[in-house]
Amino acid sequence: MKESSKEYELFEKSPVHIAIMKLAVPTVFGQIILVIYNMADTFFIGLTGSDIKLTAVTVCMPAFMFLSAISNLFGVGGASEVSRSLGRRELRRAGDAAAFAVWGCVGMTLLYSLGAWVLLDPYVNILGGFHVGVHQLARGYLISTVVLGGIGTSMNALLAHLVRSEGRSSQASIGIMMGGILNLLLDPLFMFRLLPPGNEVLGAGIATGLSNFIAMLYFVVILYKNRRASALRFRPTKRLLDRDLALTIFSTGLPACIMTLFENISYALLDRLMASNGTSVQAGIGVAKKVNMLAHCIVRGMTQGVLPLIAYNYAARNYKRMHAVVRLSVSISVFLAGLCMAACLAFSYELVGVFIQHGGDSLYYGARFLRILCVGGPFSACAYTFISFFQAVGSGGRSFILAILRKGILDMPLMLLLTRVWPAYGTVWATPITDVVCCAVAIVLFRIFITRAHASMPGYDN
């Protein structure tokens, strides 16, 4: 990777707003497509008018999203180290970080997929699929998306992180969007054409697994074509056993992994608590969560897009530029999340009704749950941006605190407490309350970081 490349120009010299636009906009669009294709299964299954089928997909979401925890562990950690290494002009270190991330992700995904296969029935029950009808449908979906499709899903996300770490945000986003668009096309094909009636959930799972595998192949082709201009290397060598390399990647990636993992556990707990209120309530919260994902994924796209820019300039000791990136990205993220919140408050029935077209109690509950969940959007956006900042600069301790605070220390205990006070609705209110608290803590930690770093960072504009 030559120092005169477009990626170096983008990281070092482009105006901050232009650099953010070029890096974040493609990632945001990719994340929007990702949300749409995650919603596609729910939309098409909603056409069947079956709450049991909707619930089967809903309870599998934490198991499927656990693959994101694995890809974040190696992808966020690896991408951050690649960008910081490029900022220091340590190209070999960047290549080693990429190789470690790839082979680590492959190994852990295979172990998880094997474990899900061996413990399939207990796993489905733990996720909340203990209803007989839900259980059978969830088994097929889990086999398709996690057992057989796990490697495609995790590697698709991981390779997007690594490609983005060099500033190739558009190429990374094309791969993510490709998986989403393919899923939108394959869903109705497998659900309503190729498989017999009654197998819609299985068809959705097959479509998801296949589309992610094809997207993974796209990244393999892109990386091969760019191999001469890229610092990324994937050949396993003895340097991958370097303890310092592993600790650096894990210290940055572990908080991202923990946050995703706790999100999945939190969702699973929410499903179990809601299951006691009936399938209409369970289906309603499942749809509400997916609609509310839009705001979170827009913010995630922003933070993923600017993470390499922050990491590069931090390592290059261009602190003034780094701080400008943080200020602008926080403002944009909170603004976009606020727009999503306003839309959800104003059009909750219409948005949920896209997926629950048969009406009934599940539509009623879904709309009311959405209005509760969306309140935390702007606060979550602010907190997530600062979490990403700490990941970019390698401050694993601070991002770890925020990760376990947001989903773990506060969220799940609050759900268990509030469900006793106000069943169903109190359980859902735990999420926005946690977002507000986490946002406040994130701001405090960020200010402390700046105050302590200001004296030792010449040129850092506070």
- 277-321 per-position pLDDT tens digit: 777 887 788 788 878 887 778 888 888 788 888 888 888 888 888
Residue 192, Cβ neighbours under 10 Å: how many? Answer: 15
Res 38: pLDDT: 66
Q: Residue range 149-155: average pLDDT? A: 93
Identify whether 69 is part of a domain. yes
Report whether pLDDT(462) > 60: no
At residue 6 the predicted structure's pLDDT band, cuts being 50, 70 and 90, is low
Report whether pLDDT(111) > 90: yes
Res 155: pLDDT: 94
Q: Using CA atoms, how far apart are residues 391 and 385, in angstroms rounded to an integer?
A: 10
Identify whether 1 is part of a domain. no
The count of structural domains within the chain is: 1
pTM value is 0.77
What CA–CA distances, in Å, run from 276 to 78, 138, 267, 272?
41, 18, 15, 7
Give pLDDT tens digits for 37-52. 666 667 788 788 787 8
Q: Using CA atoms, how far apart are residues 83 and 106, in angstroms rounded to an integer?
A: 21
Q: List Cβ neighbours of 39 (8 Å cut-off, separation of 6 or more).
A: 290, 291, 293, 355
Identify whether 349 is part of a domain. yes
Closest CA to 138 of 61, 37, 50, 35: 61
Helices (H) and strands (E) in the chain, counts: 18, 0
Res 452: pLDDT: 76
At residue 1 the predicted structure's pLDDT band, cuts being 50, 70 and 90, is very low
Identify whether 73 is part of a domain. yes
When the pLDDT of each residue in the chain is averaged and rounded to a whole number, the result is 85
Res 262: pLDDT: 81
Closest CA to 105 of 57, 144, 159: 159
Closest CA to 382 of 313, 430, 447, 285: 447
Identify whether 459 is part of a domain. no
Residue identified by tokens 């909340």 is: 128
Q: Residue range 427-435: average pLDDT? A: 90
At residue 210 the predicted structure's pLDDT band, cuts being 50, 70 and 90, is very high
Identify whether 246 is part of a domain. yes
Res 358: pLDDT: 65
Q: Residue range 256-275: average pLDDT? A: 78
Q: Using CA atoms, how far apart are residues 80 and 94, in angstroms rounded to an integer?
A: 10
Q: List Cβ neighbours of 385 (8 Å cut-off, separation of 6 or more).
A: 299, 302, 303, 326, 329, 330, 333
- Of 106-120, 241-255, 388-402, 445-459, minimum mean pLDDT range: 445-459
At residue 189 the predicted structure's pLDDT band, cuts being 50, 70 and 90, is very high
Q: Residue range 130-150: average pLDDT? A: 90
Q: List Cβ neighbours of 28 (8 Å cut-off, separation of 6 or more).
A: 298, 301, 302, 305
CA dihedral 436, 453, 306, 10 (to 10 degrees): 160
Contact 287, 358 (CB under 8 A): no
Res 19: pLDDT: 86
Identify whether 460 is part of a domain. no
Report whether pLDDT(461) > 60: no
Q: Residue range 17-34: average pLDDT? A: 79
Report whether pLDDT(70) > 80: yes
Identify whether 462 is part of a domain. no
Q: Using CA atoms, how far apart are residues 179 and 216, in angstroms rounded to an integer?
A: 8
Q: Using CA atoms, how far apart are residues 381 and 455, in angstroms rounded to an integer?
A: 29
Give pLDDT tens digits for 161-181. 899 888 888 888 888 888 888
Q: What residue numbers bound the domain in which 115 lies?
A: 6-454
Res 72: pLDDT: 85
